[in-house]
């Protein structure tokens, strides 16, 4: 074995074992020559599950879905050149959703950068400000200090990805030829002293003095306390603490707290910046990440609280509502556990005012669709009502996530996910596939529009299509959201350059990738077929509902108007 190749294979093997010992169990690989030693080491490791996905953009979103579902770090690895650039959308989404992706980009030796060598671009820090940190491996690994440096990078990168707020890290690894092992050469994963660092954490609780001298006096001096839950996953202990407080908890569908007794879920219907000033909070307490509701953001910006506290244990804090006064360094679970243990002199009047508005919308929507023409909004309403127990719902961006948020969900047995870090339509299907293949015990549903679906059609170009994924495709042959925004609707170019009308069907895609497929055009067909869509489990299923976008637009507008008017 040549000395360079010997050093490389030993160090690559040690690196992969190091990642394994620090929690990596899943790897998504994309084919290429320069990445070969990393690919072979991951594939040959006895305890790491690997999959290969040719399209790097889809591969990265699939990995994002796996990491989100399993709550563990996931590796993606690609060859040199533009392959790494195709990871960028998912890396940015992982950055804003705080998902630990380990991005391995194989590279050419440093001296060949900008020398017209094939598949060679500037890969160091290629993701700019949308990565927690980028690391550069040494080119040659023969020297003892270079080996130590390689070991240090592996440990630091994993720690950085897992430290709160979690997020993606890049390890750029220039690899010099020869890097393919000979037939009799193997990777050694038996070395247990390879620099794995154990990360221990504790639950940060606030001291009694902070509560009694700083927080409780403010709370007791104000009557209107509002809690807003941002994007995040349901925790039963947190839900129990929230229900022990006499305050409204505003929850978007992606917040996953719509089942809490004090939850408000229809804020997007009844709120407006200038109306219902009685709902203006004195103290706003927020936790989690982004919120979907534009009306909530506009309302709170126009009616700011006297105090706005955000609960976050570490990291930068966004001032979404332009009123931030305190950052409380605690976990939301610990904070509200303590909060619910204090006796507060508050009536339920403010909670009842919010719940009255919310309950009015719930009542109005029960019979809303009966006298209207069939629309995609009705389809979404039926899906949310009929989701099986313990299922997972993925919402693509644009109108899909908005429809679902307006209708709302009051269940804690359905986990809701959406790529609302960057809110792009690229990768919604791939992310759902990542979830489904890593959680085969649950049925996963993807609600998506035609533009998001066909934009990510390479999500189906892999060997791992999960039979437990069901895609409900709303195909109105264009981006209907632009016909609801005042600006584009006034432009003569609306149809061609904003809605981007198309006549594509999922029929041939389903045939190409061997998926179940139903294509429907009416209310009768939809209700007749829906049960088959739910119950069929032999392979990935696509229910394509073709609707009239004008009817769908008008139905959605009528719902918003009806909800506000009757409240």
Which distant-in-sequence residues (6+ apart) come within 8 Å of 49 by Cβ?
25, 26, 27
pLDDT class of 500 with cuts at 50, 70, 90: low
Whether 331 and 298 share a structural domain: yes
Query: What is the bridge-based pairing of β-strands 326-328 and 133-136?
Result: unpaired
Listed residue (549, 438, 556) closest to 498, CA to CA: 549
Instruction: Return d(Cα 558, Cα 372) in angstroms, integer.
Output: 10
Enumerate the β-bridge partners of residue 395: 418, 447
pLDDT at site 489: 64
pLDDT at site 111: 87
pLDDT, tens digit, 9 for 90 and up, residues 173-226:
998 888 788 787 788 887 777 878 887 777 789 999 999 999 999 999 998 999
Within-domain flag for 412: yes
Within-domain flag for 528: yes
Residue 540 CB neighbour total at 10 angstroms? 24
Instruction: Return d(Cα 501, Cα 524) in angstroms, integer.
Output: 26
pLDDT class of 494 with cuts at 50, 70, 90: low
Whether 327 and 372 share a structural domain: no
Whether 240 and 301 share a structural domain: yes
Whether 443 and 412 share a structural domain: yes
pLDDT at site 487: 62
Per-residue pLDDT averaged across 93-110, rounded?
95
Please, what sign has the CA dihedral across residues 430, 431, 433, 434? positive
Instruction: Return d(Cα 305, Cα 109) in angstroms, integer.
Output: 55
CA distances for 446 relative to 97, 232, 241, 480, 513, angstroms: 19, 18, 31, 19, 17
Whether 431 and 331 share a structural domain: no
Listed residue (147, 16, 124, 13) closest to 75, CA to CA: 16
Listed residue (485, 451, 460) closest to 540, CA to CA: 460
Instruction: Return d(Cα 510, Cα 343) in angstroms, integer.
Output: 58
Residue ending a domain, choose from 359, 393, 409: 359
Q: At residue 138, what are phi and psi to the nearest 5 degrees?
A: -70, 150
Q: How does 109-122 read in b/e, with b if 16+ C-beta sit within 10 Å?
A: eeeeeeeeeeebee
Is there a cis peptide before residue 221, judged by omega within 30 degrees of 0? no
Side by side, the strands of the sheet bearing 326-328 are: 263-264, 249-251, 225-229, 283-287, 307-311, 326-328
Which parts of 361-483 are beta strand (E)? 392-395, 415-418, 444-449, 469-475
Residue ending a domain, choose from 131, 150, 174: 174
Give me the percent of the chain exceeding a pLDDT of 70: 94
CATH number at residue 306: 3.40.50.1220
Residue 491 CB neighbour total at 10 angstroms? 11
Within-domain flag for 202: no
pLDDT(276) > 80: no
Per-residue pLDDT averaged across 87-91, rounded?
98
Residue ending a domain, choose from 292, 327, 359: 359
pLDDT at site 484: 59
Whether 223 and 349 share a structural domain: yes
Within-domain flag for 196: no
Name the token pair of 503.
């006549």
pLDDT at site 496: 59
Whether 232 and 151 share a structural domain: no
Which distant-in-sequence residues (6+ apart) come within 8 Å of 5 by Cβ?
178, 179, 181, 185
Within-domain flag for 180: no
Per-residue pLDDT averaged across 54-76, rounded?
97
Name the token pair of 211.
């509560």
pLDDT(566) > 50: no
Within-domain flag for 472: yes
Mean of the per-residue pLDDT values of the chain: 91
pLDDT at site 567: 38
Q: Which domain holds residue 218?
A: 208-359
pLDDT at site 124: 92
pLDDT, tens digit, 9 for 90 and up, residues 134-143:
999 998 888 8
pLDDT at site 367: 84
pLDDT at site 345: 76
Whether 164 and 220 share a structural domain: no
Whether 168 and 46 share a structural domain: yes
pLDDT, tens digit, 9 for 90 and up, residues 407-432:
999 999 999 999 999 999 999 999 99
Within-domain flag for 342: yes
pLDDT(565) > 60: no
DSSP state of 445: E
Residue 507 CB neighbour total at 10 angstroms? 13
pLDDT(365) > 90: no
Whether 384 and 337 share a structural domain: no
Residues 452, 428 contacting (CB under 8 angstroms) = yes
Instruction: Return d(Cα 83, Cα 80) in angstroms, integer.
Output: 6
CATH number at residue 434: 3.40.50.970
SS3 74: strand
Instruction: Return d(Cα 457, Cα 425) in angstroms, integer.
Output: 12
For the ranges 8-22, 333-347, 370-384, 430-444, the one whose mean pLDDT is highest: 430-444
Domain count, the chain: 3
Which stretches within 163-302 are classed as H helix? 208-210, 216-220, 236-243, 267-270, 294-302
DSSP state of 310: E
pLDDT at site 176: 87
Whether 274 and 337 share a structural domain: yes
Helix/strand/coil (H/E/C) assignment for every residue in 22-44: CCCCEEEECCCCCCHHHHHHHHH
The answer to which of 8-17, 51-60, 279-288 has the lowest mean pLDDT is 8-17
Whether 343 and 426 share a structural domain: no
pLDDT, tens digit, 9 for 90 and up, residues 456-465:
999 999 999 9
Task: Please classify residue 62 by burial: count the beta carbons closer than 10 Å to its beta carbon, then call 0-12 exposed, 13-18 middle and 19+ buried.
Answer: buried
């Amino acid at each position: 074995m040549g000395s360079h190749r010997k050093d490389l294979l030993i160090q690559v093997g040690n690196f992969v074992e190091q990642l394994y010992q620090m929690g990596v169990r899943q790897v998504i690989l994309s084919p290429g020559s320069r990445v070969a030693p990393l690919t072979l080491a991951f594939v040959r490791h006895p305890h790491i599950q690997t999959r290969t996905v040719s399209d790097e953009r889809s591969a990265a979103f699939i990995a994002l879905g796996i990491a989100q579902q399993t709550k563990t770090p996931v590796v993606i690895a690609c060859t040199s050149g533009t392959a790494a650039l195709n990871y960028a959308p998912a890396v940015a989404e992982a950055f804003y959703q705080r998902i630990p992706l380990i991005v391995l980009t194989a590279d050419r030796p440093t001296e060949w950068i900008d020398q017209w060598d094939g598949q060679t671009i500037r890969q160091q820090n290629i993701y700019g400000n949308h990565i927690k940190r980028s690391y550069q491996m040494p080119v040659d690994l023969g020297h003892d200090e270079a080996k130590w440096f390689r070991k240090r990078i592996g440990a630091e990168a994993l720690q950085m990805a897992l430290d709160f707020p979690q997020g993606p890290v890049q390890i750029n690894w220039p690899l010099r030829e020869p890097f393919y092992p000979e037939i009799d050469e193997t990777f050694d994963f038996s070395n247990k002293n390879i620099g794995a660092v154990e990360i221990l954490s504790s639950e940060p609780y606030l001291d009694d003095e902070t509560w009694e001298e700083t927080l409780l006096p403010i709370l007791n001096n104000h009557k209107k306390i509002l809690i807003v839950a941002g994007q995040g996953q349901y925790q039963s202990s947190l839900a129990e603490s929230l229900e022990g407080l006499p305050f409204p908890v505003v929850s978007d569908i992606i917040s996953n707290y719509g089942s809490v007794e004090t939850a408000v879920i229809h804020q997007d219907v009844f709120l407006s910046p200038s109306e219902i000033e009685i709902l203006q909070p004195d103290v706003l307490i927020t936790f989690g990440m982004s919120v979907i509701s534009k009306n909530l953001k506009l309302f709170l910006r126009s009616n700011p609280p006297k105090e706005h506290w955000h609960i976050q244990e570490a990291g930068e804090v966004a001032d979404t509502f332009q009123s931030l006064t305190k950052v409380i360094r605690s976990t939301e679970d610990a904070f509200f556990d303590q909060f619910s243990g204090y006796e507060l002199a508050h009536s339920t009047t403010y909670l009842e005012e919010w719940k009255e508005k919310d309950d009015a919308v719930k009542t109005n929507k029960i019979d809303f669709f009966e006298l209207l023409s069939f629309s995609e909004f009705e389809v979404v309403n039926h899906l949310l009502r009929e989701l099986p127990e313990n299922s997972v719902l993925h919402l693509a961006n644009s109108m899909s996530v908005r429809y679902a948020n307006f209708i709302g969900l009051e269940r804690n047995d359905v986990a809701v996910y959406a790529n609302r870090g960057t809110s792009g339509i690229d990768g919604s299907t791939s992310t759902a596939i990542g979830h489904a293949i890593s959680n085969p015990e649950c049925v996963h549903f993807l609600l998506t529009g035609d533009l998001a679906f066909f934009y990510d059609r390479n999500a189906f170009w892999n060997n791992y299509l999960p039979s437990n994924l069901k895609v409900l495709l709303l195909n109105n042959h264009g981006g209907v959201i632009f016909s609801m925004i005042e600006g584009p609707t006034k432009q003569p170019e609306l149809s061609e350059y904003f809605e981007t009308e198309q006549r594509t069907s999922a029929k041939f895609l389903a045939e190409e990738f061997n998926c179940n497929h139903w294509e429907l055009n009416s209310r009768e067909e939809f209700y007749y077929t829906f049960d088959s869509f739910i119950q069929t489990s032999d392979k990935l299923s696509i229910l394509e509902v073709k609707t009239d976008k004008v009817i769908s637009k008008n139905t959605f507008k009528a719902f918003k108007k009806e909800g506000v008017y009757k409240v």
